[in-house]
Amino acid sequence: MPSVCFYFQIHQPLRLRHYTFFDIHSDHEYEHREQNRETLQRVTERCYLPVNRIILNLIKKYRGDFRVAFSITGSILDQFEKYRRDAIESFQRLADTGCVEFINETYYHSLAFLFSPREFKEQVISHRNKVKTLFGQNPKTFRHTELIYNNDLARMVEKMGYAAVLAEGTERVLGWRSPNYVYRPAGCHKLKLLLRNYRLSDDISFRFSDQKWSEYPLTADKYARWVHDAGKTGDVINLFMDYETFGEHLKGDAGVFDFLRSLPGEIMKHPDFRFQTPAEVAGEYEPVARLDVPHFVSWADVERDLSAWLGNALQKDALHTLYGMESKVRRRKKEELLRTWRMLQTSDHFYYMCTKWFADGDVHDYFNPYSSPYDAYINYMNVLDDFSSFLGGKGT
């Protein structure tokens, strides 16, 4: 019986305010509080609350047969607690149904795994504790920032006790194989690997409103047929996407809400299909093969690698400078300094510095507060320069 696994990523960073050379050593307020609050308010009204209501109604309508999973970063959970407690309560109502899984990731949606195993583990544990406190679940599935994944990550995740890890189902990982099966990561003995069907996922995320697309308009019955076809040669269809797809990237009046309301019923018209969460999939299906992924992959851009965050000298300089501060930050033993340093780790800061424009330009522009990657870099490094003054200078 093929399963459909819906997973949604929910994240908003703490964006930095315009921070000039003349602010260094004189103004230590880094966060653009007004912009962050306005963005959160807008997306909460357009996406989080209305789509949560749709999901809750679908769970009730299908008596628990519709099931989904969320990964909500610590960055946005903190903002919800500060500005929109009703959003937290909305997700808690979904948790209470027993039909929603909450997935673990780094608290600050960071790239810490690439630079500091200690920091990575601490952020994962902090996020795990936050999920347990707010939603009453002890996560069994791990999802790294932007689906960044390789063999080393899988081995660490297995040692931390997870049952499943999510990754991108790119051909660089699969070769001739299908993403519609459960796999075993190379070097692991118990961990199961679930791979995103990026074609079917992106049909919703990126092509739904494209009037030049040969399949436009995308209807629920048409999409369900594609899912049914994919299930003929697979065990699980993993549909992973940003939650902001619904209502923010794709406006509600574009028909995406109606599409979402209709889709579960269309998929379950086929008696062999059902919905499961990632942990349920991992608990039921055995791996069909081992997958060796020595090099990092992600779900970002057409390359699906690390180049969205580490593709140019600006990004590399910013990241190495930031993580070079770790030992000094820890020696100060001040919680506020540690929190600020971690806020500065959020991967979005480096994504804004990306100089790849061609096929991925629109993606990099969305939610981007800067006019150019160079402005993003200069602003960020000014902040780091000021922050380093609390540590006694840059470096280790």
Residue 77: partners with Cβ closer than 8 Å, 6 or more residues away = 88, 130, 134
**Known catalytic membership, residue 158:** no
- Catalytic residue, candidates 101, 119, 146, 168: 146
Instruction: Yes or no: say if 286 and 182 are a contact pair by the CB < 8 Å rule.
Output: yes
Q: What is the set of active-site residues? A: 146
